Each structure stands twice: as structure tokens, then as C-alpha cells.
Chain A
Amino acid sequence: MQTHQYDVVIVGAGGAGMRAALEASGEARTAVISKLYPTRSHTGAAQGGMAAALANVEEDNWEWHTFDTVKGGDYLVDQDAAEILAKEAIDSVLDLEKMGLPFNRTPEGRIDQRRFGGHTREHGQAAVRRACYAADRTGHMILQTLYQNCVKQNVEFYNEFYVLDLLTDHDLTTEQIEDGAEVNATGVVAYDLASGEIHVFQAKAIIFATGGAGKIFKTTSNAHTLTGDGMALAYRRGLPLEDMEFFQFHPTGLAGLGILLSEAARGEGGILRNSEGERFMERYAPTIKDLAPRDIVARSMANEVREGRGAGPNKDYVLLDLTHLEPAHIDAKLPDITEFARTYLGIEPYTEPVPVYPTAHYAMGGVPTNIQGEVLRDSHNVVKGLYAAGEVACVSVHGSNRLGTNSLLDINVFGKRAGRSAAAYAKAAGPHRDLPENPTVRVEAQLAEMRDRPDGERVADVRKALQETMDANAQVFRTGDSLNEALATIRELQKRYRNVSVQDKGKLFNTDLLEAIELGFLLDIAEVTVVAAINRKESRGGHYREDYPDRDDSNYMLHTMAYRRPTSASDAADGHVAGYFDHVEDFGDYKVVLGSKPVTQTRYEPMERKY
């Protein structure tokens, strides 16, 4: 075991982690721990753009952007956070340009902007050009630019280190912590993949920037490595997860594969058609049609398929038509995604429409934070020294449905905020707090148990069963029955997980072992996602219940806060609001308790969501 001491430790080296590192490393002794080399992070797969009301090509302002974000999230957005997002967007984009990001340019040499779903002028009048972009590899350029600036600033990285535990000075899973009592994060425990050694990182401030959990689904745009590690660690240590029932299905995944084709394809003029060649979005969103928010487009597509108007031999996808666009325009604005269609489906987008179907894309929910990036341990108390930013976090700027281009924005705005807050806190804090007596005991036991189990079930079989039930039962359309079926399967799989074994028993670069550990995270995230979805008996944003097709503000205008607790603990979640959030789900040796948190509303009254 090796022990390290830093002022700030950042877990994850995607956009949010590295943006935070650029703020923190100049101010405090900072390390970034990442399970991948930084440039492998999934920020690099983001394509279309980053929203900011620069007004470089047409009239725009941050207030319209705030409104679109709030409405796009079906009013479950915390409006103070959305306002920060939209206001600070402008400097975030300019920061990146100054760091060297090669944005596409207007004829005047300014940052060019294009249309994207749900971004409008004058509160929904028409689509507005707000997305700043670099061809269709904006995320790639953000990731590269942030890494380049980390190289410039000599940021210290621990690459291919897997953080497997979060250390705090109180056990939140069992102890009754009083309101207002101080709880501190003290460090993390990591596993060095190359050597198999355990490392303890003692820190005054810790930032979780571990990204999403798309691998709970079978059809997903997410990387194999997006297994919800940070969310699951927080959850296991007794912290709540917020709004996990809201998962975004991106409308245009390559059919059958789930590989993302950017919404920029529609921003640049692409049209969705059903088997009859009809531009069906005209029926579902008459004003902005194909540029409606993702939840609406994904549902419309799934509905076309359900009603028998799907294309292809099995009528199970719709078509993204770019054939009316000039090939030169496609090459200039959408080169990568058209190459995906050619490489993976053998389709030539110049002349043929591309088969697409919704793909699991983004977790709106996550580890709850306030606008400074501080992690909440209930509806209002923070854990001192613990921060989160990016997809792992729920601020909540995305509410129940994130607008396209708002995630690249989120990682920059809240990555920067979390980095600054963490560095300031670490500088003001006293000496490092003591770690628990045996900080590595849990991780070592977990790894040894998994590695030493002589034989058992294959990790891949359990994971496949999980992903299949999530695709079948918790996707674009959900019902109480389908969700209960998913839950029954997850309970079963949680049991089977205790009997999985790995074939690789070695210490060096044991990815077999790590995949088994990651499966545990996936099961926990799926569990909390489904329990929260069962409880929310309404349809809002990305969560659509066919048995409750309407939004129900009187009962559900609240954030879900899900806690894992021992069976013996009292059922009242901290900060609990009486009513529909009394839900408790028993899992044998623990239970999932659902509490709630009020939605912050400032200037926008909830309205019916029409586009």
C-alpha cells in the first residue's frame, strides 16, 4: 500500500475533471486520478457543440438560453443553476478559445454557431444558432485542448488508477447524523491497474468527475468504461443520488449499434423520415420539428416504429435523411458522423438515408451538488471537502431532460466552479484530517473476494442480462409493470453477482477483475434508476410512463433523492418530504429509501411543454 497526500484530488480526467484541474492546480497541490489516459475520456466522443449565447451570428442572450434549458428539462431544472449555466457559458467558450480550441469560424473570423434541438429565440419562437462547434468533433477538441493546457500547467496525473472507495469521517450508511453536523471527506482509495497495488490518497478536497453510467443499457452511445463508478461509490457510502430515473435516449444512434450520430446532423438540415418517407416530426413538434428536444424526438421515433411505420426489413428503425444536403456541406460540417455511417453500416449518407434509433446517452441525475459543486448528503447539508461536476453530478441544470450542447457546457462551467471551490476550501482548511484506521480494508476485501472465488458465474452473462432487461423495460417507454419486471431481474442479478468469478487471478493489468468490479457499480446504478422510476408515477422529460402519461406538478415537482440504507435503519430519509416519496424498496440485506428535494424556481412558472 502506498499513501499520497494532496490538497485537492480530482477523480476522473474527462472534460469536468480537467477543467477543474486547470483551476485547482495553480492554487493548491493537485492530483488527477483517472481510470483511463485523459485523452481516452468520453468527452472526446461528444460531437455537435457547446451552447453559449455569444450572438455571433444572430440575436441571442443568456436569458433565452436559461428559459430553453428550464423548459427543455420539463421544469425540474433548478432555475438558479440554469441561470449560472447560461450566463457563464459565454466566458466558458471564450476561455476555451483562448486556451487554443480551434472553433469553426464565421466569415468575420468569430466563433461560428449553429442550431441545435430545443435552443430557441424569444422563448420558443424559432430555432436559434447558439451551439459553438468544431466540425462534428467539438468534444474531441475540448478534451484535447484541456489536456494540452494540463500539460502546459504540469498537472499531475495518475493514469489507469481506479478509485474504488471514498473515505469520510462519519459512516453515513449507518450513523444517524444530526442536521447541521459536520461530515468531512478525507480521501480516496485507488487500484493501480498496471501493478495491482492499492494507493491511498489523503486530500483536503476531493472532486468526483467520473462521468456517466450508460452501460446499464445494452444500446448506448456510451463507452465500455462508463459504468457509473463515482455515482455508485457515493451511493454505497450512504450519499443520496438525485433524479436517477431520468436517463436521456439520444434520438439518432446508428440502428442496432447505438453509435451516436450528432443532433448537429439535424441542426445542419437533416430530416427524420419514417418508412413512408414522411417527415413525421411535423406532427409531433409543428414549430421546431426535427429540432425538438431529445426526449420528444426519441419518443416520436419509437412511436413511429410501434405504429408500424418503421423502416428496414424488420421495421425497427427510422431514417435520418441528409441526401438533400450538398456533399461539400456535409464534409465541412459533419465529416465524422458520416464516416461512422460508412464504416459501420456501409451506408453512403450523400445518397442514402441512415438507419437510426434512440440510444441510451446521458444520465440527467447523479450525485447531488449545490451551485458551488459541493456534494449534498441530504436535501440541504453538504459533505465538507467533497465536490462533483459533470455527468456524475446533478446540480440540477438538466432537470428531466438535457438539451443538446448543454453537457459540454456543464462540464466547463461546473468543472471550473468545482475546481475553484475545492482549491479555495483546501487552502483555507487546516491540516489533513485523519484517515480511518484501516483505510484500504474494504477495497482489499472486495478485490480479494472477487479474485479468489475459484469459480462461479461469468461477469459477461450477468451484465448482458442486466443490459437486456434495462433496454426492454426501462427505455423510452416505461410502465409500472415493465419497471417491476426490471426490478425483479435486478434483485436476482444482485444475488447472482455475489457468485461471479474471474478467470484472471494475476496482479498485473487485470482488466478481468476490473470488469467484475464495474459490473457491481452498474447493478447498483440500475437498481436506483428503476426504483426511482417506479416511484415517479408521472411522465416528465426523459421519464415517460405510459400508465401515467401526464406531468403531475402537484405531486412530483420534486427532485428524487435515493438512499441505500441498512434494513434496520429508520425509513425516514433525511430531508424527507411527506407524500409520494415515502417509497421504500427492500433488497434483503439493505433497502432503498426515497426522499425528495424541492426544485428551485426563480423566474419561470411551469407551463405546458409544446414546441
Chain B
Amino acid sequence: MTAVLENPATESPKPEVGAVPSFEVTLRIRRYNPESEHGEESTWDEFTVTAHGTDRVLDALHMIKWEQDGSLTFRRSCAHGVCGSDAMRINGRNRLACKTLLKDVNPDKPITVEPIKGLPVVKDLVVDMEPFFASYREIMPFLITSGNEPTRERLQSAEDRERFDDTTKCILCAACTSSCPVFWTDGQYFGPAAIVNAHRFIFDSRDEGATQRLEILNDKEGVWRCRTTFNCTEACPRGIEVTKAIQEVKRAMITRAF
């Protein structure tokens, strides 16, 4: 529903409480397209769009793609921070474009937008996610149990359920893993997201696969590579305490006999 002003010449629109009026914003976007004249080289392009108070970086990217340059390429789907498609580096920090309001990233200066680091760039802001998902699959991200299944549900106390609540929030957007300096220099490292998903099962009272997962993460490319820089925790758009989860997995490795 949009408001129509009956007499725009004499009446000025009343701004909503807390609303920010429209403003110009420039995005400085790293481009890469092996099919283009630049070949394997990446370049920077600047675009200026008119944005409104609640517009997000994703809205600005859409305005550019839909009105200025259709070849600008990025992934997106849900547009409200739950599908994990649009993690990108915005002003040097990993964020979801759909969850980052323009007004919160200093729109007075050009906003830089780059693909997340450490994964091969396919085109513009799109990276190859396969290595990321391969690490995820390796930590056995599924409930492991033995014996007969119960007729009804397995029982789990509310406290036991709460124990791993934080790590169930992960949307596999790769913002954490691709913010990790260890991952940048060593792409073999499992990375925070895989460890978070291992944590989700290691600390689930119903699961019996902790030993196997801890063995996998005890690898030289495993959890001990973490240098506790907290980049991952800062980057997580779901507010997961990623570094804490990694520390808990390290501790489990020391305290649990296997």
C-alpha cells in the first residue's frame, strides 16, 4: 500500500518516525567475468543509485542489475537473511547483502562490495561453493544412532535441547569460513562452518557419532588450526558464537576419551 498525496505541490510528505529519506549511494563493486574483454582479470565498477531508508545492499544491487547493468551477477533468494545465498564482503566485512541496511554502512562514501574470500570466484560476486559444502559433508552432519529406533520420539530434556541450540541456527552462508585468515591461506582447513555443524551433533544428547566426528576434526586440517581470531563470530549473520563453539569442540577433544 502506497500513500498518494492529493496535493504534492503544497503538502510535503510527513516522514515516518525513525525513517530515513531517500539518498544517493555509490557502490564500488569488484567485477570478474572470464568471458569479458578483461578475461581473467578482475576490475572495479562504480554505480550510483537512489535508495530509501530501509533499503538494503541487496536492494541496491538489484537496482543496478535491473536498471543499469544486467550482467552484474550475484546469488540471492529469500532476501531476509534465512537462505544464506548472498554472503559477500561489504566494506571489508562479510555480511549478507539482504540483511545489511545501506544506512548502516556509511552511504556517504562509496560502499565496496566484493565476493567472499578463499573460494574460487566464478563471476562477479558469485564464488564456487563446492569446496565449502565438501568440508561440511565430511564432518558427518547427520544424527548417528545405534540400536532400534523408539516407537515414538526420542526423549530429550529441554536443557539438553538447549545445549546445542546456538549451532542449529547455521544457514551455511559461508560468511564465517570465508572470513577466517587460516582458511584464506589454507583452503584445506575445514573452516568454522563445518566445525559449527559438527558441534551441533557432538553436543546433541541423542547422537552417538561424536567420537567419529572428533577424530575427523583432530586431523591436521581440523579444529587445531583455529587461531581464535573471532573473525567468524563477528561475521556470522545469525549471531552464532562460532569461536565459542570451536573452543567447545577443542575441549571435547581433550576431555572425551576416544
Which residues on A are within 8 Å of B, measured CB to CB? 36-37, 39-42, 44-45, 93-94, 97-100, 102-111, 134-135, 137, 140-141, 144, 148-149, 151-152, 194, 223-225, 256-257, 259-260, 305, 312-314, 316-317, 336, 340, 343-346, 357, 458-460, 502-504, 506-512
List CB contacts (< 8 Å) of B2-40 with chain A: 3, 14-18, 33-36
Given contacts A45-B83, A223-B77, A313-B16, contact A97 B154 (CB under 8 A): yes
A residues in contact with B71, CB < 8 Å: 503-504, 506, 512
A44-B83, A44-B171, A224-B77 given as contacts; is B35 within 8 A of A506 (CB)?
A: yes
Considering the complex, give the chain A residue whose CB is closest to the CB of B34. Answer: A508
Given known pairs A37-B129, A40-B77, A110-B153, the reply for A102 and B164 (CB within 8 Å) is yes
> B158 near A105 (CB under 8 angstroms)?
yes
Least distance between A134 CB and chain B CB atoms (Å): 7
Q: Is the CB of B1 within 8 A of A316?
A: yes
Whether A44 lies near B16 (C-beta < 8 A) is no
Asked if B82 and A140 sit within 8 Å, CB to CB, the answer is yes
Expressed in whole angstroms, the Cα–Cα distance for A260 and B82 within the complex equals: 11
Task: Let me know if B172 is at the binding interface, CB within 8 A.
Answer: yes
**At the interface, yes or no: B85 with Cβ under 8 Å from chain A?**
yes
In the complex, the answer to whether B156 meets A508 with C-beta atoms within 8 Å is no
Would A512 and B70 count as touching, CB distance under 8 A?
yes
CB of B54 within 8 A of CB of A39, answer: no
Is B142 among interface residues, defined by CB-CB distance under 8 A? yes
Could you write out 26 A-B pairs with CB less than 8 Å apart?
A: A36-B85, A37-B129, A41-B83, A42-B83, A44-B83, A44-B171, A94-B153, A100-B206, A105-B158, A109-B157, A135-B165, A137-B168, A151-B141, A152-B142, A223-B79, A223-B83, A224-B76, A313-B3, A343-B81, A343-B101, A344-B54, A357-B1, A460-B67, A503-B69, A503-B71, A509-B123
* Interface residue tally for chain B (C-beta within 8 Å): 65
Residue B73 CB within 8 A of the other chain: yes
Q: Which residues of B contact A (CB under 8 A)?
A: 1, 3, 14-18, 33-36, 54, 65-67, 69-71, 73-85, 99, 101, 122-123, 126, 129, 133, 136-137, 140-143, 149-150, 152-158, 161, 164-165, 168-172, 201, 204, 206-207
A103 to B14, CA, bound (A): 45
The reply to whether A45 and B168 contact each other, CB–CB distance below 8 Å, is no
Does the CB pair A508–B33 fall under 8 Å? yes
- Interchain CB contact under 8 A, B153 and A111: yes
Are A194 and B122 in contact, with the CB atoms below 8 A? yes
A37: chain B residues at CB < 8 Å are 85, 129, 133, 172
Q: Which residues on the A side are within 8 Å of B76 (C-beta)?
A: 224
Knowing A94-B153, A102-B164 are in contact, say whether A345-B35 is a contact too (CB < 8 A): no
Inter-subunit contact A42/B77 (CB<8 Å): yes
> Are A345 and B54 also in contact (CB < 8 A) when A99-B143, A152-B142, A340-B80 are?
yes
B83 / chain A contacts, CB cutoff of 8 Å: 36, 39-42, 44-45, 223
Report the minimal beta-carbon distance from B182 to chain A, rounded to whole angstroms: 24
Question: Is the CB–CB distance between B172 and A509 below 8 Å?
Answer: no
| Residues of B with C-beta under 8 A to A343 | 81, 99, 101
Instruction: Kindly list the 6 A-B residue pairs having the minimum CB-CB distance in the complex, ordered from nearest.
Output: A100-B143, A503-B70, A460-B66, A109-B155, A504-B71, A314-B3
User: Nearest chain-A residue to B65 (Cβ)?
Assistant: A512
Chain A residues with CB below 8 A from B169, complex form: 137, 140
A110 in contact with B155 (CB, 8 Å): yes
CB distance from A104 to the nearest CB of B (A): 7
- Decide: B78 and A44 in contact? CB cutoff 8 A: yes
CA distance A512 to B67 in the complex (A): 12
Contact A105:B161 (CB < 8 A) given known A40-B83, A111-B153, A504-B71:
yes
**Residues on A with beta carbons closer than 8 Å to the beta carbon of B204:** 100, 102
Rounded to whole Å, the gap between the CB of B238 and the closest CB of chain A is 9
A340: chain B residues at CB < 8 Å are 80-81
Looking across the interface, which residue of chain A has its beta carbon closest to that of B137?
A: A151
B3 touches A316 (CB 8 A): yes
**Complex-state Cα separation, A256 to B33, whole angstroms:** 36
In the assembled complex, how far is the CB of residue A343 from the closest CB belonging to chain B, in whole angstroms?
6
B19 to chain A, nearest CB (A): 9
Roughly how many angstroms separate A42 CA and B80 CA in the complex, as a whole number?
11
